[in-house]
Structure 1
Amino acid sequence: MGGIDLDKPRYDQSTYMGRAKHFLRLTSPLNAFASDKELDEAKKIVTEFRKSRRMPPGYDEDKLWDTKYLYDSAFHPDTGEKMFVMGRMSAQAPMNTIITGGMITFYKTTPATVFWQWLNQTFNALVNYTNRSGDAPISTTQLLASYCAACGGALTTALFLNSKVKNMPPIFARLVPFAAVCGANFINIPMMRSNELLGGTPVFTPSGERIGESKRAAQLGIMLVCVSRVLMALPGMTLTPVLTNMATKRGVFRKYPWGVMPFQLVLVGACVTFATPLCCALFSQQATLQVQRLEPHLQEVVAKKHPEVTEVVFNKGL
């Protein structure tokens, strides 16, 4: 079984298609419904295989990889801790379908806008914290400050834009939630991962030797995650309002006004299920950074201990 390396993804991460296949399996909503018993069994199988290099009884290569992807979907790559189920990327599709559906359906009143934006940012904060890079803890004070800033940013953006689009065509009002989510992502993600910006994220040589903590790597990783998260929200939060607007104009919901909600939920669900893995795949989770772009003290460490290394790798988070 020497040909199977569970320390690397099954698919080639240097190509977009390889990363897309990887994240389609990693973020599958089915993974979110696995029981603790199944997850603990998956961890046991993966751990034992890494030690013995022997195929477990009753397993073949495909079943072993299925188990590895289930394990990866629930355990943090840096800390090895089991992640809270709603913070896992596999929970993105079902949770975002409900939340996004609510945001683009109940956007007309201020209380509804406040509630759905607050719920969305609370969920985003949970996801961002759960999928942070590195293994350094974040203090409760820092966590609370980050959460308040993220919620405040999203609510301010949404309420301000709502006040500006009252006299515009309905389609503009329907797109306000997306604009608020875009703005909030660039507040929420850096704030919830501020520990990395302040203390750096671990960087390694390509062979896996830890060099130290880099703030510049953290900045790059967080920027890439912000971009992919905005693009992740784009199809569900723009295509759905546009199609709903078109259907409403053509009288599709005249006889069945209650049909708007299920119509939007189906569209959002389809968009989110595929947009999540396809946007995660835009950038490799194990990002790279040229040595000359590292902080001077880390460049010195690399020059002294690993003179042959030209770039370092780090987990950018999701």
Structure 2
Amino acid sequence: MAESNGRLNIDKPLWDQSTFIGRVKHFFWVTDPRTIFTSDKKLDAARDLVEQYRRGEEPPGVSREEIVYAKKLFESAFHPDSGERQNVIGRMSFQVPGGMAITGAMLQWYKTNTAVIFWQWVNQSFNALVNYTNRNAASDITAQQIGLAYVTATTSAVVTAIGLKKFLAKRAGPFAQRFVPFAAVAAANCVNVPLMRQSEITNGIMTTDEDENEVVPSKYAAGKGIGQVVFSRITMAAPGMLITPIIMNRIEPMKFMQRIKPLHGPIQIMVVGCFLIFMTPTACAIFPQRCQISSEKLKVLDKEKLEEIQQKFGEKVPKTLYFNKGL
């Protein structure tokens, strides 16, 4: 737990973020689905308490537990760059309830083209909102860019799903078609995330030194961060979308399952939810949130930016640059 002079360091995670286990504990804490039921009034009060504590002006008698809980609410609902309160559906704490409902539906209703198109559209609408909400807020994105990312990702998901469905219908049995939604989701993530954050790729994202002082925007940092986010998103979805079909294929023929066919959808949604409860924080923790690159990389990748750093810092060029990769 980050502390200084007996006080909690309100701007640092409670667990060591240089270790995978520390990051998993942090994201289990931050992505707690129960926080989505907290009212805006309580969230704003938590933000105010965090800001007061940061200045050393918190009200007398406030306990450590209250400060820690306020920090939890603040980090679960407010953007780390802009400090703005995020919309509920776009928060990572909504990934479990939102993801389990949509993913379970995609896995359950996949047999008709109409169902495939509808649920892929719903999923990409959800993903687009999550990607926009958790982007690096220092990079601007226009309404036109958002629309392009949304339409392209939705189209890629639908084309992949319908194409694979037809291909497997001719060459494999119904069981293989259960995995079509995952292929569509993976393909769409490879499109949705980069397009939704295209301004970062074009303009770079701001890097800082160890003390959070701004250094220079970097396109390499943007590419690295976006690549890690895409990998994490696919990893997050993989167990639920790959193992759940196997489980359902085994239990659906059983007599008790035949008697409760209307409940197959809800059961599948709950199974996916069990995976997401663990995979959401685990996938978020694969890479550090505060990502780093070596300034030496800029010698090869972006000499112009290296010259900017040298002019700004002289001989004391930071060896390591840091940036928020987004989620």
User: What's the TM-score once normalised by structure 1's chain length?
Assistant: 0.96
Q: Shift of the alpha carbon at 1:72?
A: 1.1
- Measured after TM superposition, the shift of residue 302 of structure 1 is 3.1
SS in 2 for 1:314: strand
CA distance in 2, matches of 1:221, 1:165: 34
Q: Does 1:65 align with 2:68?
A: yes
Q: Within 2, Cα distance between the matches of 1:21 and 1:56?
A: 29
* Matched residues, number: 317
Structure 1 residues 134 and 298: alpha-carbon distance in aligned structure 2, compared to 1, 3 A threshold: farther
In the TM superposition, what is the alpha-carbon distance from 1:248 to its structure 2 partner?
Answer: 2.2
Separation in 2 of the partners of 1:155 and 1:210?
Answer: 41
C-alpha distance in 2 between matches for 1:29 and 1:81: 19
Which residue of structure 2 lines up, in the alignment, with residue 314 of structure 1? 323
Q: Is the 8 A contact 2:49 2:58 kept in 1?
A: no
Structure 2 residue aligned with 1:89, among 92, 96, 116? 92
Secondary structure, aligned partner of 1:7: coil
For the Cα contact (< 8 Å) 1:6–1:68, is it kept in 2?
yes
Match in the other structure for 1:101: 104
Query: Following the alignment from structure 2 to structure 1, what is the Cα–Cα distance between the partners of residues 60 and 169?
Result: 64
Residue segments in structure 1 that go unaligned for 5+ positions in a row: none
**1:85 CA drift (Å):** 0.9
Q: Does 1:173 find its partner at 2:177?
A: yes
**Residue type at the aligned position of 2:318:** V
Determine the structure 2 residue equivalent to 1:245.
Answer: 249
Aligned-partner residue type, residue 7 of structure 1: D
% identical aligned pairs: 40
The residue identity in structure 2 corresponding to 1:60 is: S
Distance 1:176 1:251 in 2: 27
- Partner of 1:6: helix, strand, or coil? coil
Q: Residue 197 of structure 1 aligns to which amino acid in structure 2?
A: I
1:93-242 to 2 correspondence within 5 Å? 93-167=96-170, 168-242=172-246
User: Which secondary structure state, in structure 2, belongs to the residue aligned with residue 309 of structure 1?
Assistant: coil
SS in 2 for 1:87: coil
- Distance (whole Å) between structure 2 residues aligned to residue 89 and residue 46 of structure 1: 20
TM-score using structure 2 length? 0.93
The alpha-carbon deviation at position 259 of structure 1 amounts to 3.0
Please tell me whether the aligned partners of residues 189 and 226 of structure 1 are also in contact (alpha carbons under 8 angstroms): yes
Output the amino acid matched with 1:299.
Answer: L
Matched, 1:74 2:83: no
> Do structure 1's residue 299 and structure 2's residue 306 form an aligned pair?
yes
Cα distance in 2 for residues equivalent to 1:14 and 1:26: 17
Aligned to 2:245, the other structure's residue is in SS state helix
User: Which residue of the partner structure matches residue 13 of structure 1?
Assistant: 17
Could you tell me which amino acid in structure 2 is paired with residue 263 of structure 1? I
Superposed CA RMSD in Å reads 1.4
Aligned partners of 2:137 and 2:207: how far apart in 1?
A: 9
Shift of 1:308: 5.0
Deviation at 1:251, TM superposition (A): 4.4
- Aligned counterparts of 1:4 and 1:298: Cα–Cα separation in 2: 36
Deviation at 1:104, TM superposition (A): 0.2
Residues 204 and 212 of structure 1 are in contact (CA less than 8 Å); yes or no, is this contact kept in structure 2? yes
